[in-house]
């Protein structure tokens, strides 16, 4: 139906819905009209031919939300763009079909996180994606995310500290992959230039006196049967080896070479295990552990030997031990810091300390140098010897002696 005059509100209001869709055309602007669906919805639109001479319709907005004159103004602009070669309908479809952040994250988790990150790191990244990134950006088009969107998300993370910065780290990788995989133009990462929060650098390691207190707590727990021997052995292994908690808990008997004093720890990013020299103290602890029939684990779960002891059980044991030892601010991971610090204090260079702790930053160095087990073992023995001496120190501390005299 074509009017001989301009579409007006009165004319559009007067059209009643029928069994089929009704189209009412404007008399002034060719290609502009309003569609009335059987449901009663009235929508302004334009009809045009694209560069391939195919007829297309493009919806502008609903009657009531837009007045006829407002819709006509928009229609005139769109038809002018069509005359210059644009195709609004195709462009809208492209935007509608474009990848959302949530959809891209599905691919990112499957093709990048699962294949390239260590298990522990992957777990943290997935948590940050689920907790912070998807809720804030999931519905956005990956190509449309701006720097301001990233800044807003960064500021919204509780605490505005390390976790917020970790979210930025994940986002930086996400948008780098978006460029690599063609989801965004190259050099257009919205994370670039976003200011990170200042973090407090935590450098806590145990002193010889701290370890003496810990040794007393360990002996008290062993003598009083207040802790399971498996849990206490895990703590001792962490203290003497400097290994990560997940690495110690996942050890199987087949990973230990008792004859040569080697333990096969996981490689970088959860890769192939590599034999690593450890001190005799570590070997002694391992040799003193009972083997549970049918279980491959060095530290099997007491109630289910088919599984290794879970982290939360070791964490609870550690919380009780550090309370007894009055080391309230010491985390399990600080045992690893202690091993590294002792190594540095004993005069070892940074490369040897990193090799002893198996930091991933030594991966490049190892390509150019032959790795000799002996310097690392010697360093491990020195560190373990110092830890052992402090653990077995039964003498009161100087502060305790002083307190006793004053009393």
Per-residue pLDDT for the chain (407 aa), expressed as one digit of tens each?
555 578 999 999 999 998 999 999 999 899 999 999 999 999 999 999 998 899 999 999 999 999 999 999 999 999 999 999 999 988 887 776 678 999 999 999 999 998 888 777 888 999 999 999 999 999 999 988 999 999 999 999 987 578 899 999 999 999 999 988 888 888 889 999 899 888 666 668 889 999 999 999 999 999 988 899 999 999 999 999 988 898 899 999 999 999 999 999 886 555 678 888 899 999 999 999 999 999 999 999 989 999 999 999 999 999 999 999 999 989 898 898 888 888 877 776 766 777 777 766 543 323 323 334 556 777 788 888 888 988 888 654 444 444 344 44
Block residue for tokens 């301001």: 148
Beta bridge partners of 33: 25, 45
pLDDT at 368: 25
Helix (H) or strand (E) holding 234, with range, is helix 229-241
Residues near 202 by Cβ (< 8 Å), separated by ≥ 6?
none
Q: Which fold has domain 9-96?
A: Double Stranded RNA Binding Domain (3.30.160)
Q: Are 47 and 56 in contact (CB under 8 A)?
A: yes
Beta bridge partners of 304: 301
Rg (CA), the chain: 34
Supply angle C-alpha 288, 290, 296, rounded to 5: 120
Nearest 10 degrees: CA dihedral of 249, 253, 259, 262?
A: -30
Spell out the CATH class of 101-180: mainly alpha
What distance lies between CA 276 and its chain's CA centroid?
28
| Domain boundaries of the chain, sorted by first residue | 9-96, 101-180, 208-406
53 CB burial (10 A radius; 0-12, 13-18, 19+): exposed
DSSP letter string over 354-382?
HHHHT-GGGHHHHHHSPPPHHHHHHHHHH
Residue 393, helix vs strand vs coil: coil
Q: What is the pLDDT of residue 160?
A: 59
Contact of 105 with 129, CB cutoff 8 Å: yes
Question: Whose structure tokens read 């390390």?
Answer: 162
CATH topology of domain 208-406: hpI Integrase; Chain A (1.10.443)
By the 8 A CB rule, do 380 and 262 touch? no
């Amino acid at each position: 139906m074509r009017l001989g005059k301009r579409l007006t509100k009165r004319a559009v209001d007067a059209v009643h819905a029928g069994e089929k869709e009704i189209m009412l055309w404007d008399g002034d602007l060719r290609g502009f009209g309003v569609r009335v669906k059987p449901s009663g919805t009235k929508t302004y639109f334009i009809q045009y031919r694209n560069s391939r001479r195919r007829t297309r319709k493009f919806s502008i907005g609903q009657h009531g939300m837009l007045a006829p004159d407002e819709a006509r103004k928009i229609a005139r602009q769109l038809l002018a763009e069509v005359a210059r070669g644009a195709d609004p309908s195709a462009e809208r479809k492209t935007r509608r079909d474009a990848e959302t952040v949530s959809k891209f994250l599905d691919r990112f988790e499957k093709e990048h996180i699962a294949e390239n990150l260590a298990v522990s790191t992957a777990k943290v990244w997935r948590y940050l994606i689920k907790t912070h990134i998807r809720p804030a950006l999931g519905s956005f088009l990956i190509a449309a995310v701006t720097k301001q969107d990233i800044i807003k998300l960064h500021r919204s993370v509780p605490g505005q500290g390390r976790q917020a910065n970790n979210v930025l780290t994940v986002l930086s990788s996400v948008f780098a992959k978006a460029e690599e995989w063609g989801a965004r133009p190259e050099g257009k990462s919205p994370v670039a230039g976003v200011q990170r929060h200042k973090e407090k650098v935590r450098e806590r390691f145990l002193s010889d006196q701290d370890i003496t207190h810990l040794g007393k707590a360990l002996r008290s727990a062993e003598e009083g049967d207040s802790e399971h021997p498996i849990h206490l052995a895990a703590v001792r292994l962490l203290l003497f080896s400097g290994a990560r908690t997940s690495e110690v808990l996942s050890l199987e008997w087949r990973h230990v070479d008792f004859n040569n004093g080697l333990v096969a720890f996981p490689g970088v990013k959860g890769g192939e295990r590599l034999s690593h020299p450890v001190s005799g103290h570590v070997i002694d602890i391992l040799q003193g552990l009972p083997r549970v029939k049918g279980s491959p684990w060095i530290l099997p779960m007491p109630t289910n030997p088919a599984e290794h002891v879970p982290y939360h059980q070791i964490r609870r044991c550690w919380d009780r031990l550090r309370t007894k030892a009055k080391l309230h601010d010491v985390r399990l991971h600080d045992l690893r810091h202690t091993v590294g610090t002792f190594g540095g204090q004993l005069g070892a260079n940074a490369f040897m300390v990193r090799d002893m702790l198996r930091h991933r930053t030594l991966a490049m160095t190892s390509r150019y140098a032959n790795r000799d087990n002996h310097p690392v073992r010697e360093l491990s023995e020195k560190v373990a010897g110092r830890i052992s001496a402090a653990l077995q120190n039964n003498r009161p501390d100087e502060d305790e002696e002083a307190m006793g005299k004053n009393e």
